[in-house]
Structure 1
Amino acid sequence: MTAGTDHRLRARTSAPEQLQDSLFASGPTGLGRLDGVTRTTLTRGAWVDLVPGWLGGAQDVLETLMTEVPWYAERREMYEREVEVPRLLKFYEASEPLPHPVLAEARDALNAHYAAELGEPFTTAGLCLYRDGRDSVAWHGDRVGRGRMDDTMVAILSVGSARTLALRPRGGGSSLRFPLGHGDLIVMGGSCQRTWDHAIPKTAKPVGPRVSIQFRPSGVR
């Protein structure tokens, strides 16, 4: 982690002590079962699975990710000027060790559960750090690579403050909102990346940091 990124991290991740205590209760770290998945069928062959509280004791995971991951800030061209992406990032290739052992366990559990339906393993992990309510991600689909043409899955594990993941049909329309809390799992499958968009909107609420861990098959970004 560079000194500049570390400064931004410290400056943007403060939260009221009582908020931290209520949101980030500690406990033994471990994964729940996946046989209680709730599936929401969308249009155009898309679907979403939700498992609230799949990861127990997520506070230890959050603390490790906040301090051990080499977060970096990305800059992109927008409206004829270069701007900083409003979140910090780290992408782990299939060959890279993950920053907490429970993330490898989560990937293995997802592979075992979705093997028949997905037909290939989850291999990579993309991490996003939303430091507070000002960090966000705009409407998009994971359509870089095979996700642009093929059905696939993206599994997102959340640790930290609750943030809303919004989903709407590609091209616009009414949106669905999934409030993802500490340890919650959401899996977007079928044609979801091609035919729907998702976003993490900004919020004016006094929220603390959230880390999103996105497990994807090879060639899907």
Structure 2
Amino acid sequence: MTGAFQGSLLDFGDGTGPRPLDAVRRTRLAHGAWIDVLPGWLPGADELFERLLTAVPWRAESRRMYDRVVDVPRLLAFYREGDALPDPVLDEARAALNEHYAGELGEPFVTAGLCLYRDGRDSVAWHGDRIGRGATEDTMVAILSVGSPRSLLLRPNGGGSGETIRHELGHGDLIVMGGSCQRTWEHAIPKSTRAAGPRVSVQFRPRNVR
């Protein structure tokens, strides 16, 4: 771990779990996509971040790019449907998301992918979650961010003519990408030249969406 985590002065854990999702703000995007954003959705997120650092079996991965193998610039963990999540707060968060989005999504969030961005050198390139049904069907991906804020960028596929959307996510913030977002838009966490502390991203997804 090379980044230094600095907790938020506004993050007061009260033991009541996630805040109600009634205050979530929806932004309609082009091509039938949308995002919901709720800053500070999870009280006590800084304490959850510290627990996840030690409770999650983080692993490093490498991938072939063209003629060489490169390290994936972040640490990863994945919890399949039926796997026990690494902290009961994540069970509460998923249950709250399922209750709120059940009518619109039509199915529950069942998996959880976790990424640890250790400092500003860790990143994820432009992509959509198109492995499985996300390539052909409207779906949702809900991302809970704990730890230090990092920029999440969204843009139409290939850049297009639309303006890039930026959200600084950390300390319990929530973003939900829905509609055609995975098929018609891309998102990324770019590298940062500024000092950046560590962040954990928790991605809740329905069955057969990666």
- Normalised by the shorter chain, which TM-score bucket? over 0.9
Q: Which amino acid is 1:108 matched to?
A: A
1:216 and 1:22 map into 2 onto residues whose CA distance is: 27
**Which of 5, 19, 35 is the equivalent residue of 2:22?**
35
Within 1, Cα distance between the matches of 2:122 and 2:9? 18
Deviations 1:17-51 (A, max 9, x none): xx625579563342111000100000000000000
Q: 2:6 aligns with which of 14, 20, 45?
A: 20
Unaligned runs of 5+ in 2: none
Name the residue aligned to 1:95: 82
| Residue in structure 2 matched with residue 44 of structure 1 by the alignment | 31
Structure 1 contact 23–160 (Cα < 8 Å) conserved? no
Structure 1 counterpart of 2:157, one-letter code = R
Deviation readout 1:138-176 (Å, 9 max, x if unpaired):
000000000000000000000000001100001213311
- 1:28 counterpart letter in structure 2: D
Aligned-residue offset at 1:94? 1.3
| Structure-2 separation of matches of 1:89 and 1:52 | 24
Query: In the alignment, does 2:167 pair up with 1:178?
Result: yes
How many residues align? The count is 207
Residue 204 (structure 1) shift: 1.3
Is contact 1:143–1:193 with CA below 8 Å preserved after alignment?
A: yes
TM-score w.r.t. length of structure 1: 0.90
Structure 2 residue 152 is the aligned partner of structure 1 residue 139 = no
Q: Trace 1:2-13 onto structure 2 (pairs within 5 A).
A: 10=1, 12=2
Cα pair 1:24 1:59 within 8 Å, conserved? no
Following the alignment from structure 1 to structure 2, what is the Cα–Cα distance between the partners of residues 125 and 83?
Answer: 24
1:112 CA displacement: 0.5
- Of 48, 55, 63 in structure 1, the residue corresponding to residue 42 of structure 2 is 55
Equivalence for 2:191: 202
1:64 to 26, 36, 51: 51
The 3 A distance-change label for structure 1 pair 195 and 21 is closer
Structure 1: 5+ residue runs without aligned partners?
A: 1-9
Contact residue 7 and residue 147 of structure 2 kept, 8 A? no
State whether structure 2 residue 134 is matched by structure 1 residue 130.
Answer: no
- DSSP-derived class of the 1:178 partner: strand
